Structure 1
Amino acid sequence: MAGRRQSDATELEAAQPAGAGGFSLGDFLPYRLSVTTNRISRAFAERYSARFGLSIPEWRVLAVLGSFAPLSSNEICERTAMDKAKVSRAVALLTGKGLVDRAAHPEDQRLLRLSLSPRGRGTFEAVVPIAEELEAELTAELSAEERAVLDRCLERLGSAVGRLARPDER
């Protein structure tokens, strides 16, 4: 089905004439990045969701906590670029599944620090090889030089997005 969605989208984009002023959505970088990211996320979710019972937002929260815990919900939002409501829902679901522990912040009792429970750590460690396998499959078509260029381009785009979010710092 995923392959069908991809080919349908590609055919649809090819069939669309350029918009006003010659604008072509199929050539618009933010659109291309978004579509590619969504397709990769769905392909990855197909590999872990049934086995581990995790949604895409839940995996993203689990991955960030597995790599950087303890964190607050706001810090998870910053690291994932997910909206607060989506992070809150994912945290609540993960807590209910016994995968995430909540503790009071040592300096501000109003804040919560989130970390993986032992069960959450086990789940994270079981999904990581699946993530690494997917990454290897995605990058298998790239030479080492192309991969290095891609990494540099993503770093530069990330920096540019950061500057766009803070126009007064240009």
Structure 2
Amino acid sequence: MVTRLRLQDFLPYRLSIASNLASDAIADTYRALFGLRIPEWRLVALLAESDGLTQQALGQASRMDKVTVSRAAIALAERGLVERAPHLGDKRSHLLALTPSGRALYAEVAPKALEMEARLFAGFTREELTAFRAMLARVEQAALTVDAEHDLDLSD
């Protein structure tokens, strides 16, 4: 007998659907109020937490591909929200950093993001959210381990 996969019971699929639904709900707010797409907002948020990051570091931190990061960085630079500075350790790459306008935008968007997060998780207790965050961290770590093992299997 062949084991059947029921997509509605397949946890990676359910995680993806839940993530897309949550992102889409929040993205509508970012787009309507601030003219930001999800990749652009992710870069703004990551850059707000740093003094500057390379596009490669942004891709690793956000798990977005190079093309998506590059397009988002270009769009933000064209709006004057990020600037490029030479990376001292590597002449081929640049650090991206928020401009004062980018920091001001972040200061407006961040409270809205937190408000949307609160609305999404309003039906959960503090204990449930703590457990959920811990489980997400474990899923992320397991996925990284599986990905690394898969990479090793491919190199054999």
| Superposed pair shares fold, TM > 0.5 | yes
Deviation sequence 1:84-129 (CA, Å, 0-9, x none): 1000000001000000010001122221000000000111111000
Runs of 4+ with deviation above 3 angstroms: none
Match of 1:82 in 2: 64
What is the rounded CA distance, in whole Å, between the counterparts of 1:41 and 1:27 in structure 2?
A: 21
Pairing 1:151–2:116 present: no
Percent identity (aligned)? 40
1:1-170 equivalences in 2 (<5 Å): 21-167=3-149
**Separation (CA, whole Å) in 1 of partners of 2:76 and 2:29:** 19
Q: In 1, Cα distance between the equivalents of 2:67 and 2:77?
A: 15
What secondary structure, in the 3-state scheme, does the structure 2 residue paired with 1:102 have? strand
Give the counterpart letter for 2:101 in structure 1.
R
- Normalised to the residue count of structure 1, the TM-score between the two structures is 0.84
Deviation at 1:52, TM superposition (A): 1.1
Residues 21-48 of structure 1 show CA distances to partners (whole Å, capped at 9, x for unaligned) of 2211011111111111111111001112
1:70 corresponds to which letter in structure 2?
A: G
Cα distance in 2 for partners of 1:165, 1:30 equals 14
Once the 2 structures are TM-superposed, how far is the Cα of residue 139 of structure 1 from its aligned partner?
Answer: 1.5
Q: 1: distance between equivalents of 2:42 and 2:117?
A: 15
* Unaligned ranges ≥5, structure 1: 1-19
Provide TM-score, normalisation by structure 2.
Answer: 0.91
Name the SS of the counterpart of 1:21 in structure 2.
Answer: coil
Q: Distance in 1 between matches of 2:89 and 2:137?
A: 34
Aligned residues: 149
The alpha carbon displacement at 1:144 in A equals 1.4
Task: Report the aligned-residue RMSD.
Answer: 1.2
Code of the residue aligned with 2:93 in structure 1: it is L
Task: Give unpaired runs (5+ residues) of structure 2.
Answer: none
